A = this chain, B = another copy of it.
Amino acid sequence: MKIICKKTDIINGVNISLRAVQSKTTMPILDCIVIRANGNNIKFITNDMEIAIETVVPGNIINEGSIAINAKLFSDIVRKLPDSDITIETNNYYMTTITCEKLEFSLVSKNDEEFPDLPTVEKKEALVISQFSLKEILRQTVFCISDNESQKVMTGELFEINGNKLRVVALDGHRIAIRNLELKNEYKPTKVIIPGKTLNEISKILSGEVDNDVAIYFTNTHVMFEFENTIVLSRLIEGEYYKINQMLSGDYETKIKINRREFADSIDRSTLLVKETDKKPIILDIKDFNMNLKVNTQIGAMNQDIEINKEGKDILIGFNPKFMLEILRVIDDEDINIYMTNSKAPAFIKNNEENYIYLVLPINFNAVR
């Protein structure tokens, strides 16, 4: 194989490819990027057995061929090369030579035949949404995914399509995050659970442009994201997702409107007094047009008043500060609405259009105080 590419193109390709390379793997070949030059295409291929990525890198093919080269080393070397044309050439002994201006690296590489094949996903009906929308949806939901591997379904997100509606759901036993999106086209009903890890990596690769689309293909076992020069393949999580509709009934006793930033900053400060291990709640005392926030720990106490708008009853309610803060940080609205019933029932944070709905369980602060 002999190819010539621009440094910037290789770096773009490498940055995408690295998302499917695990630093610790029991199969040494998975440390590698496979570079495959065939026909008109130079492809970088990586696979960590959960996610596989294939991205096309612009360049000239002098000789066809392929090689598997240590991903981290290749990445580090290319980054430190002059900003110029880079020639990558292999010989019969799996040595790769990287040449740039008056500089030459020779690296011990591997036969790519050991590299596992990527699963095949037939391109039938594609769900098409903008990179911007997908990236936003993921940012606003993935933090609610549980990392509890014993409940596998919780480690992924439900993507549910009905007609022209997409609903994305993540939950961790304390919170539920829901994003609703209207699609341009009608689709046949689909319900899949995509692993959280896949979604985290996807959101790092997506450029997030409004004008660039992502096509998403589903099979019974796999999902494929296709955008620009890249495809990302992942298995799906098997199993039945939680029925959440019954948890979303509409009654409430108290509705408040509060400045999101002010509320978030106050909770953020309070966490300085809370050690990871103790489960101290932040207690909200809502009376008339005031919310008093209180935290009391061995280290010290915090106390702050914030002006609010309120409809309905006064309420005293406690939350896990970290859980609440994560939600407040991903919402873009200046003011948010919080709907509460009593100090033991879940609270809802949502906008009027219900583009986003967050459910948070309160903490019984009498027990922990």
Contacts and interface: CB of A to CB of B under 8 A. Distances in A.
Contacts of A273: 105
B304 A104 contact: yes
A62 interface: no
Contacts of A302: 103-106
Contacts of A250: none
A248 interface: no
A81 interface: yes
A299 B95 CA distance: 11
Interface of A: 73, 76-77, 80-82, 102-108, 265-266, 268-269, 272-273, 298-306
Given A80-B269, A82-B265, A106-B301, 8 more contacts: A80-B272, A103-B302, A103-B304, A104-B302, A104-B303, A105-B273, A105-B301, A108-B298
A269 B81 contact: yes
B268 A80 contact: yes
A265 B103 CA distance: 11
Given A73-B272, A76-B272, A304 B81 contact: no
A281 to B, nearest CB: 17
Contacts of A82: 265
Given A102-B306, A272-B80, A108 B265 contact: no
A272 B302 CA distance: 50
Contacts of A77: 269, 272
6 contacts: A80-B268, A80-B269, A102-B305, A104-B303, A105-B301, A105-B302
A96 to B, nearest CB: 8
B299 A80 contact: no
Contacts of A107: 299-300
A66 to B, nearest CB: 19
Contacts of A102: 304-306
Contacts of A265: 80, 82
A18 B82 CA distance: 40
Nearest to A306: B102
3 interchain residue pairs of minimum CB distance: A107-B300, A103-B304, A106-B301
A212 to B, nearest CB: 34
A80 B141 CA distance: 26
A354 to B, nearest CB: 32
Contacts of A300: 73, 105-108
Nearest to A106: B301
Given A73-B299, A108-B300, A299-B108, A103 B272 contact: no
A298 B107 CA distance: 9
A267 to B, nearest CB: 11
A120 to B, nearest CB: 35
